[in-house]
Amino acid sequence: MKKHYLIRSAALAMVLGGLFLMGCAESRELYAGTYHSVEPFAGKGHIELVLKENGEATWKLAEEEKTIKFKWKVDGQRLWLYTKEGAIILAIPSEGGKVISLDMSGEWNPGCPPDKCITFKRVKEGG
């Protein structure tokens, strides 16, 4: 009798622990949306950056047909973008998620170095 009680208690604790950990993940909702680069990138036009709530994202240059897909997550005060090839790009959101600055330096920086930074502004829904 005690054995069944212990097994059920352990199972319940595991389920509740899993639900608790899922609830602790930082929400992507604030940052999910479509963004356009403020400045043209490398002479190839503006970039469209789409962050989806499910953690998927795309990066598309206006003048090219190629779209790059990647994953993203929120961790602290930064967004982490993971490319298929294994690169990690750090993004620093501001203005409540309306502006995102991507650090393209390839190094860890406390902020976004101006000469290695791409700034994106959120596009209003339907516009």
Q: Report mean pLDDT in 10-residue bins for the chain, 127 residues.
A: 58 45 65 93 88 95 85 93 89 93 81 84 78
Strands (E), the chain: 33-37, 47-51, 56-61, 67-75, 78-83, 88-94, 99-103, 117-122
- Which pTM was predicted? 0.73
User: What pLDDT is attached to residue 15?
Assistant: 47
Instruction: Provide CATH code, domain 33-122.
Output: 2.40.128.50
CA-CA distance, 33 to 122, in Å (whole number)?
7
User: What pLDDT is attached to residue 93?
Assistant: 93
CB 76 within 8 A of CB 91: no
